[in-house]
Structure 1
Amino acid sequence: MKKITTVSYLASCIALAAGGVQAAGFDIGGTNVTFGGYVKLDAMVTDADGDMASLGREFYVPSLTPIGGDSTTRFDMHARQSRFFFSTATELEDGSKITGHLEFDFMTSNNGNDQRTTNGYSPVMRHAFIKYKNWTLGQTWSNFMDVASLPDTLDFVGNPDAAIFIRQAQVRYTHGNFAFAVENPESTVTPFGGGARITTDDNATPDFTASYSLKTDWGFVKVAGLVRQIAIDDGTFDDEVTSYGLSVSTKVDFSNKDDLRVTFNTGKGLGRYVGLNTVNGAVLDANGNLETIDVTAFSVAYRHLWNDQWRSTFLYSTLMADNDTALTGVGVTKTTQSYSANLLYQASKKLMVGIEYKFANREVESGLDGDLNRIQFSAKYDF
């Protein structure tokens, strides 16, 4: 059985996240530097049961699917997903190597959003990390996440209902196929009876993650675990609770070059780690004590290659929250789900255009729900 180390697995995931194309390197004072990225245009028409927050009009955010409003149709166009990165590699005096990676995009920038004239957006840091021997230090994808199992979609994430999607500062140690990390903590809490989300950073410990990745002749599989503390100490409430989760993902390669990508995530208090924080990690009871909220999510994506230039992905993704409505109220999200299908044309190695349809639904504990229908066109140039 052919295996792959976690170090090389992480490297391949970073290349995938950066667009999979790197420019030729050049040397500066003994350091090899490469530059790459992509330019991407997204244009979409969205029909939803109510008006949407601006972020949800730029890519699919499950918690922003509106409920109970009048049907609205909106057209949006942007190039904010475009990104660029610098990677460096330096050989040290003892023959070992240290590498660095800096990557930016404009997707979640809050600066310069003036669509009347310039449409200017400030760069936002995605990755900033160094790697030395078995160590990774800096900001990158969480060790609890599997980038390589994300579906081949035009949407920014593709399967955010089910995906673990987190970039944060961490210290990671790898040994063979195993990886262990301490990562930056942050938590979200629902007030007793429901209401505006409380974001808290009162942890006394980091988030702890561990993973095992295995490459085989038929694809790969990754199993990851998370243990963390959810804490609040804001002068009114003072409590903490332990949260934990399990993530299993796989990509199965078929002989005709098609593939199947599956992810399954479950746990107590997963909160921000899954569903783009659709569900909070914990809820306060009447006495000001924290109780974790259970969440289970999964997605299945089948990618079919029609020929060397045309391909499609068919995707289903869902998230299910086990809310105690006596604590959370009935206005919180109970389930989200989405379906999508696309047709992508690889005009050349570095140029892709495509069209994608997505349907999404969100239901709250009261039984009310809302739908979203979106058609998206994209063009992407890797450099």
Structure 2
Amino acid sequence: MSTSFATRARRPLAVALLVALVAPGMAWAQTAKEKALEARVAELERQVQLLLSAQQTQQGQITQAQTQITEVKTAQAATPATPAVPAGKQPIQSTTITPASNNGSVFSYGGFIKLDAMVTDTSDGRITDGSSGRLFYVPSTIPVGGQTADGGDPYTDFHAQFSRFWLSADNVTDDGNKFKAYVEMDFFGGGSNALAGNEIATNTYAVTLRQAYVSWNNWLAGQTWSNFQDTAALPDAVDFVGVTDGTTFVRQAQVRYTSGPWSFSAENPQTTLQSYAPFETAAGLRASTGDNVMPDLTARYNMKGDWGHFSVAALLRQFKSLDETASGGAVSVSGKFNLGTNDDLRYMANYGSGIGRYMAFGLGSDVMQEANGDIEALDGYGGFVAWRHVFSPKLRSNVMYSAAHFDNDPSLIGWGVTERSQSYHLNLIYSPFPKLDIGAELGWGQRSLEDDREGDIKRLQTTVKYTF
């Protein structure tokens, strides 16, 4: 019995000892888990606090950005809008290039550099050095009846005076009104001192005005091509004009109105006069007067299409010299007709009473003077035709013929005045790169007087021209 009792007595003791040994471990384990949980909770609280802080900072930045945007929009509303920069292009400067112009104006610039080199052979003496006839074909400068039987040896001239540049400022208002200001200049026609404007040392030439006008919708005011002239019909020449004899060619101050195909103008008047020659052996003196009261009036009608263009113009003029007056008028028909994709035909025909100043660079006078001082309008007519053929995108050629004729009265102004002129031109123009032209042109021209004396000119002209 004692052994059994002892055994039963030891069991509770063992259980008590086991509980005593295990309980502290369980308590320690419970405490570690709680601490880990507390640490995780603390970390989560810290991260939440950081997120809240970042959100507050971001909200502050958003509020500040919204405030700045509002300020910018307010400033933009107070400042007139500027035109948007086209896609793919960047402005060359941050401020407008035309600060004195209307807001939104578009400024443009262009022109060309042109070198002309020519060899000239004239039958009746040389063209005066320094005159316009040494630079391009001018029929009135062809010598006639010179002392040198064969005209002497050929002579060579180089120049770049027809190089040109232009400036333009265009604007369209919010309500659709269109404005344009245009100025164009070259270097033909001016030298300022003994070393400038000649070929001795510097070949310096003054800038000269070609065009200067402003246009507003259908109106134009300023200096530009006469409304009586169809510049679109001029041929592709190496010479400055080429078909000088039979073309109208005037730039002058005017006021013009255009409506669709119609255009009307009032232009600067001027009268060229051939004075009375009592002995009839030579030409009377040539003069130009600005005594006119009425402006030269013109009207033009244009038609355009895939076939080319056609134009007809009328001119009404008053002539005046001191107290003497006369009147006259003229018509001009011109255009271009496309002969397929590689050929076109360009033409002009002019006729009028008092057309002298407007045709062939004033080859004939506007009026003749009678013995009693009265003036009479001089009839004249002329024209040209030119065929253009394109061999390839880089090579083209032009063949041209031009002529002018004037019905002088030799009993009034003498037998030494010009009766007619004519010319032929043939050229070849090569364009190795876009906007670069290298050309050569053969030309022959003739001027005839009322007494049947004649003089001719033969010229080989070359050019290099780059348009920008």
Deviation (angstroms), 1:96: 1.5
For 2:91 and 2:402, the matched residues in 1 are separated by 39
Q: Does 1:59 align with 2:136?
A: yes
Aligned residues: 356
Alpha-carbon distance in 1 for matches of 2:303, 2:191: 39
Write the distance in 1 (CA, Å) between the matches of 2:158 and 2:285. 30
Equivalence for 1:206: 295
Q: Tell me: higher relative CO, structure 1 or 2? Use CA pairs within 8 A at least 6 residues apart.
A: 1
Does residue 309 (structure 1) correspond to residue 383 (structure 2)? The answer is no
Q: In the alignment, is residue 183 of structure 1 matched against residue 252 of structure 2?
A: no
- 2: CA distance, partners of 1:310 / 1:108: 32
Note if 1:195 corresponds to 2:284.
yes
Contact 2:191–2:204, Cα closer than 8 Å, also in 1: no
The answer for the alignment partner of 2:350 in structure 1 is 265
Q: Which residue of 2 aligns with 1:35?
A: 109
Q: Which has the higher helix share?
A: 2
- The structural deviation recorded for 1:217 is 2.4
Partners in 2 of 1:259 and 1:93 — Cα distance?
41
Contact 2:430 2:439 in 1 (8 A): yes
Instruction: Map 1:197-276 onto structure 2 (within 5 A).
Output: 197-233=286-322, 238-276=323-361
Match of residue 159 from structure 2: 78
Q: CA deviation at 1:80?
A: 0.3
2:380 aligned partner: 295
The 3-state SS of whatever aligns with 1:33 is strand
1:190–1:196: 8 Å Cα contact kept in structure 2? yes
Q: Letter of the aligned partner of 2:261 in structure 1? A: N
Deviation at 1:110, TM superposition (A): 4.2
**Contact in 1 for aligned 2:317/2:328 (Cα 8 Å):** yes
**Further displaced range: 46-55 or 134-143:** 46-55
> Is 1:377 aligned to residue 466 of structure 2?
no
Amino acid at match of 1:217: D
Q: 1:232 to 1:25 in 2, by over 3 A?
A: farther
- Conserved in 2, the CA contact under 8 Å of 1:25 and 1:32? no
| 1:312-351 → structure 2 map (5 Å cutoff) | 312-351=397-436
Report how far residue 93 of structure 1 moved.
5.0
1:352 matched to which residue of 2?
437
Aligned partners of 2:207 and 2:142: how far apart in 1?
27
Confirm or deny that 1:120 pairs with 2:218.
no
Map Cα deviations across residues 131-168 of structure 1 (whole Å, 9 max, x no partner). 11110110000000000111101111111101110000
Partner-residue secondary structure (3-state), 1:272 = helix
What CA distance in whole angstroms lies between the structure 1 residues aligned with 2:315 and 2:127? 32
AA of the residue aligned to 2:182: H
Equivalents in 2 of 1:163, 1:25: separation in Å? 43
- What are the residue-to-residue correspondences of 1:1-40 with 2, within 5 Å? 27-28=96-97, 29=99, 30-40=104-114
Which residue identity does 1:51 align to in structure 2? R
Determine the C-alpha separation between the residues in 1 that align with 2:355 and 2:319. 10
Gaps of 5+ in 1: 1-23
Partners of 1:25 and 1:33 within 8 A in 2? no
Give TM-score, length-normalised by structure 2: 0.74
Q: Does 2:175 align with 1:94?
A: yes
> Normalised by the size of structure 1, how large is the TM-score?
0.91
* Aligned-CA RMSD value: 1.4
Q: Secondary structure at the match of 1:63?
A: helix
Structure of higher CA gyration radius = 2
Deviation at 1:271, TM superposition (A): 1.4
- Equivalent residues of 2:213, 2:224 under 8 A apart: yes
Q: Residue 221 of structure 1 contacts residue 250 of structure 1 at CA under 8 Å; is this kept in 2?
A: yes
Partner SS, residue 306 of structure 1 = strand
1:113, distance to aligned residue in structure 2 (A): 1.0
Q: How far does residue 347 in structure 1 lie from its aligned partner after superposition?
A: 1.2
1:11 matched residue in structure 2? none
Corresponding letter in the other structure for 1:43: A
Instruction: Output the amino acid matched with 2:219.
Output: W
What per-residue deviation string (whole Å, max 9, x for no partner) do you get for residues 252-277 of structure 1?
01213211001001100111100100
- Conservation of the 8 A alpha-carbon contact between 1:187 and 1:271: no
Specify the code of the residue in structure 1 equivalent to 2:326: V
Deviations 1:188-220 (A, max 9, x none): 000001322111010111000000011022100
Structure 1's 25 and 354: CA in aligned 2 closer, same or farther, altered over 3 A? farther
Give how far 1:108 is off: 2.2
> Cα offset for 1:354?
0.9
The offset of 1:25, in angstroms, is 9.3
Offset at residue 90 of structure 1 (A): 1.8
Q: CA contact under 8 A between 1:25 and 1:34: conserved in structure 2?
A: no
SS of the residue 1:327 aligns to: helix
Identity %: 42
**SS of match in other structure, 1:367:** coil
Distance 2:368 2:168 in 1: 42
Normalized per residue, the structure richer in strand is 1
Distance (whole Å) between structure 1 residues aligned to residue 421 and residue 191 of structure 2: 26
Shift of 1:31: 1.6
DSSP 3-state at the match of 2:360: coil
In structure 2, what is the Cα distance between the partners aligned to 1:226 and 1:117?
A: 45
